[in-house]
Amino acid sequence: MRPLPGMAIIAEYTTRFSADVAVALLWDSGYEATILSDPAHSVAPHHVTDRMFLIVVREEVADHASEILLDEAVNSETEELDAQYHHRPFHRRPTWFRWAAWSVFWSIPGLFILAILMITWTLLDGLFP
């Protein structure tokens, strides 16, 4: 796929959703943008020859638009890393949460352990009256 003369490709995405989000971000910033993709994506995905979704803007604003997308990508990565960094470890969670987590964790194997102990008691009681 080639864009029309006077248009520039500023980004490529592998999913339609990511491309739609990028175009919405550009429109919110005041830049007209569109998505170029194989038309078979929506009708017959098994006939698609090019799986990429290209974001296209006018050549005059291509540099500014690509900077906006780059800034957004950097911001979303740092927010995700911050969320992972601020994850609270298990030992710092509230006591009720820890008790609930351990009780759920031991509920299934605890039943098996209890059943094995009861079977063992019954067998030993039958062997040694």
Q: CATH number, domain at 77?
A: 3.30.70
Query: What digits encode the pLDDT tens for the residues 35-92?
Result: 988 777 777 777 777 778 889 999 998 888 888 888 877 666 666 655 555 567 777 7
- Residue of higher predicted confidence among 42 and 122: 122
pTM for the model: 0.55
Q: Which residues contact 57 (CB under 8 A, 6 or more apart)?
A: 7, 8, 10, 26, 31, 32, 33, 65
**Domain boundaries, position 52:** 7-85
Task: Assess if residue 1 is contained within a domain.
Answer: no
How far apart are the C-alpha atoms of 22 and 6, rounded to whole Å?
Answer: 20
Query: Do residues 98 and 79 share a domain?
Result: no
85 contact partners, CB below 8 Å, separation of at least 6: none
Averaged pLDDT of the chain: 83
Whether the CB-CB separation of 5 and 15 falls below 8 Å is answered with no
Indicate whether 27 and 64 sit together in one domain. yes
pLDDT of 87 reads: 67
Residues 66 and 101 in one domain: no
Are 67 and 26 within one domain?
A: yes
Alpha carbon distances (Å) from 66 to 22, 25, 124: 10, 11, 76
pLDDT at 86: 59
Instruction: Supply 76's token pair.
Output: 């979303």
Say whether both 18 and 47 belong to one domain: yes
